[in-house]
């Protein structure tokens, strides 16, 4: 399984309180999923001490398409030959336009 970070780890990285991290998750600015160890944030959702650029827009599109956080995580980490790579990889490589296009198409 890819690296997962506790909310405490994320709060330290982002310089926020745990409440601040939870607010980011609630507002679809950061992805958090339920794991056997509790709520965790995929390490791929962060770029250093910030959420990955354009992640918020993609999460909003996925939420609007009816995706749960766990389904969004699966979508973001699944290889897509047409990208190529995973949507998370594309976001890290500043290829957000293609990721957003694919996420928008899920709503139809």
Q: Give the predicted TM-score (pTM) of the model.
A: 0.92
pLDDT of residue 1: 61
If one counts the domains in the chain, the total is: 1
Q: Share the mean pLDDT of the chain.
A: 94
* Per-residue model confidence (pLDDT) at position 108: 63
Q: What percent of the chain has pLDDT over 90?
A: 89
| CB contact at 8 A, 89 and 81 | no
Do you know the residue count of the chain?
108
Q: Is the predicted pLDDT of residue 82 greater than 90, yes or no?
A: no
For 27, the domain range is 4-105
pLDDT tens figures, 48-78: 999 999 999 999 999 999 999 999 999 999 9
| 87-to-2, 14, 37, 48, 70 alpha-carbon distances in Å | 14, 22, 25, 18, 15
Q: How far is CA 37 from the centre of its chain?
A: 18
């Amino acid at each position: 399984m890819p690296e997962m970070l506790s909310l405490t780890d994320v709060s330290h990285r982002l310089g926020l309180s745990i409440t601040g991290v939870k607010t980011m998750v609630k507002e679809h600015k950061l992805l958090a999923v339920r794991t056997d160890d509790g709520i965790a944030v995929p390490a791929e959702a962060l770029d250093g001490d910030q959420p990955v650029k354009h992640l918020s827009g993609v999460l909003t599109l996925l939420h609007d398409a009816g995706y749960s956080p766990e389904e969004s995580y699966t979508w973001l980490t699944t290889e897509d030959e047409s990208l190529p790579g995973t949507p998370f990889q594309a976001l890290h490589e500043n290829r957000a336009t293609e990721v957003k296009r694919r996420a928008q198409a899920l709503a139809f």
